[in-house]
Amino acid sequence: MKIKNGAHAPTGSACPKKATELFYVSHPKAARALLGPFLTQADAECGRVVMRSPDAVVTACMVDSIDDQTHWHAMNNAQVCRVFAGAACTETRHE
């Protein structure tokens, strides 16, 4: 692909984020994860608190790397869950 000045445009994400795991909140009555992705297990635990179900569990999925969009979603999910969980999850902030 070329842009107007003749330079080649990069394909894919310009800077994929390295990660070994993404975390999700699952429930035995659901066929797939209900919340996630999260970058850390602590953030996923906040999601589990938000679920308010004793049967909710944190699960992990191994990945090679994550793109910018997935990274943004994971950061946003963590921030939203911290707000809803309140004081129960204040120690997992990403600055």
Q: What is the pLDDT of residues 9-34, one digit of tens each?
A: 455 445 556 657 999 999 999 999 99
Please give the pLDDT value at position 48: 93
pLDDT of 2 > 60? The answer is no
pLDDT of 46 > 50? The answer is yes
Domain segments of the chain as ranges:
17-92
State the Cα–Cα distance between residues 72 and 6, nearest whole angstrom: 31
Say which residues have a Cβ less than 8 Å from residue 25's Cβ, sequence separation at least 6: 33, 34, 35, 36, 38, 44, 47, 48, 51, 56, 57, 58, 59
State the Cα–Cα distance between residues 42 and 36, nearest whole angstrom: 12
Please give the pLDDT value at position 17: 61
pLDDT of 36 > 70? The answer is yes
